[in-house]
A and B are shown apart, each in its own frame.
Chain A
């Protein structure tokens, strides 16, 4: 047993880079997928709409922890190959991000009035041009507050990677706590770091929301 020292403090902060890396990976792969899901959900083809809705529904109805364990423990066994831990975890977070962001962005797209598409069509724009120049900017503005709100969920969600042995913030907390026998100090510090990461985003999301309400 040793006392809580600067080293412990530093190791907690060092663990932040995994938290950030996981969030970045989830967004890098999840966001394009989310856009695809959102577009699929408002597609003209009923079959596609259905399929996308089903994908989102399934992922949103399964615990994030379940996704992580499934891809980390289950998939390698099923495929019969070694899957690097980072890839397995990235797949799980990517799906999680894609489903939730996809649903948020679909809401944003649907909130833009049909007349806006028609107005674009009347100007002779192609479907893609209508989307790119008329619909997307408006939808983005509408869905920005919940998107930032989801970012908070994602940051908090990366704490689950600790269970799989990733030495991100929460795991570093466990390690330090076990080494120093100071769970109170350690977990309070871990919580404080998450809090410091998430609160500004939460406040930002809320002010965006208020600004939208005001302009409506």
Chain B
């Protein structure tokens, strides 16, 4: 059984059909990168996977559980699926430590005595152990994004979603975030990413999914997809992304 099963998902905003029947499986330990032009529905698909958006038709299952906004264990489910956003979305009124430990403490995953050690541990994994007592606003964009990743890691998720996590960063800060993600990939984390970073897609992903006009247009291993795109749409997308 695949970790994530997406079956014929449709989603409409107002009059615009953003997803027109998307099907996709993601196996445990797989790194799947979704690419495509803006408006192709890739971010919406990602947000559907952890029920930030509800699907109009079709279904999404994660670890066999059907995902929707009214699922009985939504909160438990979301603790197992981490998501990192384009705009970091750190909580500005909480120090880095508290940003990380708030959810584990409130959801009863850990007790107070272990909280700081947990924060220190995940911060070490993103290379920011020395920032444990900083305020988010004191950090650079790249550092904030790494803290956001650490915040997800603290929940020990089974699956991580990344929604254009480097798009809001200055170019010189992109590398440090990608390095952290690469390290996570090597440790076997299942990851689904929406990204414009073609280098990362090529070197780290197991599989590329090209979305176009609300559909999965073409997919396959990066080497094959980038070298021999089957559809003219993908070919022109790759050409324009260079």
| A touches B in complex, CB < 8 A | no
The chain B residues found within 8 Å of chain A, CB to CB, are none
The chain A residues found within 8 Å of chain B, CB to CB, are none
